[in-house]
């Protein structure tokens, strides 16, 4: 057993800078590997004791987090002016994990390992060294053989991606309770386009917690954020006019921003500093889905470390999916209102398995072509020509 009180500040094998989904997932898989006796330091300015976010993902296989899945759905709803469908998910399920449950699960698991340490300090700098790297905080300096960072600085990334497409997926959500039993706890409303598009991609989704409780979220894909009151105006209008609810109570709120960009995130920022999470390219550029991509990426990192290899592994999409994402992002940026038709055609003309395999980048060329040929070609041809002309794709 290792007593951290007797350790020098330089006695760490790995430092994880950022204790969010990526950092804690990496720590979790390290603790379940042959590296479980390594000395690991996790640094985050927050205590991670609040339910500050929700992760949703579809999967056909069990994950390591089955015990903390709060809600699981076997069918989804898609609603637009072009189609209205309730779609059984077959072998898949759509799963929701609440942030607080994830944080508590990982921290409880790691509490059994005295060589894993979590500290709450603000990181001010990460520097590469000859034989490792150092992390400087507001309270001290720590060194390790490898540093894994998920610290996303949007200004820095926007500057780096100046010649690329850069949009934001921004969303405001309310968990509401109502005296009426109006929600279907077995069905997740994944896309509802019944809101003014304003030449952007705008939609609502509804995640029921029970028959009288649900998360209602307003989501926009665009370059710029809205003024804060506009999110609440849209939420109130949707709840009143679409859900037909006037008597409800807001019990929780959330707001988030996810980058959507064809910028190729570097796998490292120094010889011994590895990028993970969104910073490492784990967010799907055209959808923002991140959670399962994080799991795949950090498990690859752990396997590399176990095999004595450098853990410098890119989480960016393969080149053909990078092209697909770039073409769609360009449409979302310049003709966002076309997204309602595009997504309607995708969900109307394909099976859910084909759609999920395409979005997961696991379907292969035949599946990709099935999706692509099910969509009206003109917007994609124009977008591709525009990208090549402007040299945005690379």
Residues 271 and 256 in one domain: no
β-sheet bridge partners, residue 213: 177, 210
- Parent domain of 299: 4-53+97-160+264-306
User: CB 142: neighbour CB atoms within 10 A?
Assistant: 24
Residues 242 and 108 in one domain: no
Sort 353 into a burial class: Cβ within 10 Å, 0-12 / 13-18 / 19+: middle
Rounded Cα–Cα distance for residues 221 and 195 (Å): 13
SS (H, E, C) 269-329: EECCEEECHHHHCCCCCCCCCCHHHHHHHHHHHHHHHHCCCCCCCCCCCCHHHHHHHHHHH
Rounded Cα–Cα distance for residues 10 and 375 (Å): 56
Q: In the sheet that 213-222 helps form, which strands lie side by side, from edge to edge?
A: 84-88, 75-79, 187-192, 201-210, 213-222, 166-177, 249-261
The encoded tokens of residue 393 equal 């794709």
Residues 238 and 268 in one domain: no
Pairing of strands 93-98, 116-119: unpaired
Residues 104 and 147 in one domain: yes
Is residue 372 one of the residues assigned to a domain? Answer: yes
pTM here is 0.94
The residue to which tokens 């009426």 are assigned: 180
Q: Are 58 and 93 in contact (CB under 8 A)?
A: yes
For position 261, what pLDDT does the model report? 95
Residues 154 and 280 in one domain: yes
Residues 215 and 351 in one domain: no
Rounded Cα–Cα distance for residues 241 and 249 (Å): 16
Sort 61 into a burial class: Cβ within 10 Å, 0-12 / 13-18 / 19+: exposed
What counts of helices (H) and strands (E) characterise the chain? 10, 18
Q: Are 126 and 136 in contact (CB under 8 A)?
A: yes
Rounded Cα–Cα distance for residues 171 and 99 (Å): 16
The encoded tokens of residue 124 equal 């001010």
Rounded Cα–Cα distance for residues 22 and 294 (Å): 6
Residues 156 and 217 in one domain: no
pLDDT digits (tens, 9 = 90+) for 121-159: 999 999 999 999 999 999 999 999 999 999 999 999 999
Is residue 60 one of the residues assigned to a domain? Answer: no
Residue 333, H or E segment: helix 319-334
Residues 20 and 151 in one domain: yes
Residues 150 and 201 in one domain: no
pLDDT digits (tens, 9 = 90+) for 249-287: 999 999 999 999 999 999 999 999 999 999 999 999 999
Q: Which long-range contacts (CB under 8 A, 24 or more apart) does 205-210 make?
A: 206/243, 207/54, 207/56, 207/71, 207/96, 208/71, 208/183, 208/184, 209/70, 209/71, 209/175, 209/183, 209/185, 210/183, 210/185
Q: Are 358 and 345 in contact (CB under 8 A)?
A: no
Is residue 268 one of the residues assigned to a domain? Answer: yes
Is residue 109 one of the residues assigned to a domain? Answer: yes
Nearest CA among 296, 311, 276 for reference residue 360 = 296
Q: Are 143 and 133 in contact (CB under 8 A)?
A: yes
Rounded Cα–Cα distance for residues 351 and 96 (Å): 22
Is residue 15 one of the residues assigned to a domain? Answer: yes
Q: What is the CATH number of the domain that holds 47?
A: 3.50.50.60
pLDDT digits (tens, 9 = 90+) for 74-96: 999 999 999 999 999 999 999 99
β-sheet bridge partners, residue 98: 54
Q: How far is CA 187 from CA 77, 89, 179, 207, in A?
A: 7, 10, 19, 8
For position 235, what pLDDT does the model report? 98
pLDDT tens, N- to C-terminus, the chain (394 residues): 344 444 445 579 999 999 999 999 999 999 999 999 999 999 999 999 998 889 999 999 999 999 999 999 999 999 999 999 999 999 999 999 999 999 999 999 999 999 999 999 999 999 999 999 999 999 999 999 999 999 999 999 999 998 899 999 999 999 999 999 999 999 999 999 999 999 999 999 999 999 999 999 999 999 999 999 999 999 999 999 999 999 999 999 999 999 999 999 999 999 999 999 999 999 999 998 999 999 999 999 999 999 999 999 999 999 999 999 999 999 999 999 999 999 999 999 999 999 999 999 999 999 999 999 999 999 999 999 999 887 665 5
Residues 28 and 111 in one domain: yes
Q: What is the CATH number of the domain that holds 172?
A: 3.30.70
Residues 156 and 234 in one domain: no
Q: Are 145 and 117 in contact (CB under 8 A)?
A: no
For position 266, what pLDDT does the model report? 97
Is residue 89 one of the residues assigned to a domain? Answer: no
Tally the domains of the chain: 3
Residues 247 and 127 in one domain: no
For position 3, what pLDDT does the model report? 44
Is residue 255 one of the residues assigned to a domain? Answer: yes
Nearest CA among 379, 355, 352 for reference residue 367 = 355
Residue 112, φ and ψ in degrees, nearest 5: -80, -10
For position 163, what pLDDT does the model report? 87
Is residue 86 one of the residues assigned to a domain? Answer: no
The encoded tokens of residue 272 equal 């011994």
Q: Are 18 and 151 in contact (CB under 8 A)?
A: yes
């Amino acid at each position: 057993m290792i007593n951290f009180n007797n350790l020098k500040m330089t006695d760490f094998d790995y430092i994880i800078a950022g204790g969010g989904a990526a950092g804690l997932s990496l720590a979790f898989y390290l603790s379940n590997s042959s590296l479980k006796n390594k000395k690991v330091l996790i640094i985050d300015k927050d205590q991670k004791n609040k339910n500050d976010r929700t992760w949703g993902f579809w999967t056909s296989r069990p994950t390591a987090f089955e015990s903390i899945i709060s809600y699981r759905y076997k069918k989804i709803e898609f609603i637009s002016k072009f189609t209205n469908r309730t779609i059984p998910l077959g072998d898949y399920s759509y799963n929701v994990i609440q942030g607080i449950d994830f944080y508590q699960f990982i921290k409880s698991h790691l509490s059994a390992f005295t060589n894993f340490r979590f500290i709450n300090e603000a990181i001010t700098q990460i520097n590469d060294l000859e034989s490792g790297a150092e992390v400087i905080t507001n309270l001290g300096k720590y060194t390790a053989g490898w540093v894994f960072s998920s610290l996303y600085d949007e200004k820095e990334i926007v500057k780096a991606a100046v010649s690329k497409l850069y949009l934001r997926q921004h969303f405001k959500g309310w968990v509401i309770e109502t005296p009426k039993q109006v929600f279907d706890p077995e069905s997740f409303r994944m896309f509802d386009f019944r809101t003014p598009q304003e030449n952007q991609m705008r939609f609502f989704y509804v995640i029921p917690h029970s028959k009288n409780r649900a998360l209602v979220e307003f989501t926009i894909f665009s370059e710029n954020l809205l003024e804060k009151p506009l999110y609440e105006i849209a939420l109130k209008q949707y709840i009143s006019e679409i859900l037909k609810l006037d008597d409800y109570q807001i019990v929780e709120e959330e707001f988030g921003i996810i980058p959507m960009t064809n910028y190729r995130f570097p796998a490292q920022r120094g010889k011994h500093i590895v990028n993970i999470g969104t910073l490492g390219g784990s967010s799907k550029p055209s959808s923002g889905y991140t959670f399962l991509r994080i799991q795949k990426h950090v498990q690859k990192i752990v396997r590399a470390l176990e095999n004595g290899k450098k853990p410098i592994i890119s989480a960016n999409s393969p080149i053909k999916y990078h092209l697909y994402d770039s073409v769609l992002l360009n449409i979302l940026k310049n003709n966002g209102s076309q997204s309602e038709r595009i997504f309607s055609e995708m969900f109307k003309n394909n099976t859910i398995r084909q759609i999920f395999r395409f979005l997961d980048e696991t379907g292969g060329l035949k599946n990709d072509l099935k999706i692509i040929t099910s969509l009206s070609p003109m917007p994609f041809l124009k977008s591709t020509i525009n990208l090549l002309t402007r040299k945005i794709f690379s």
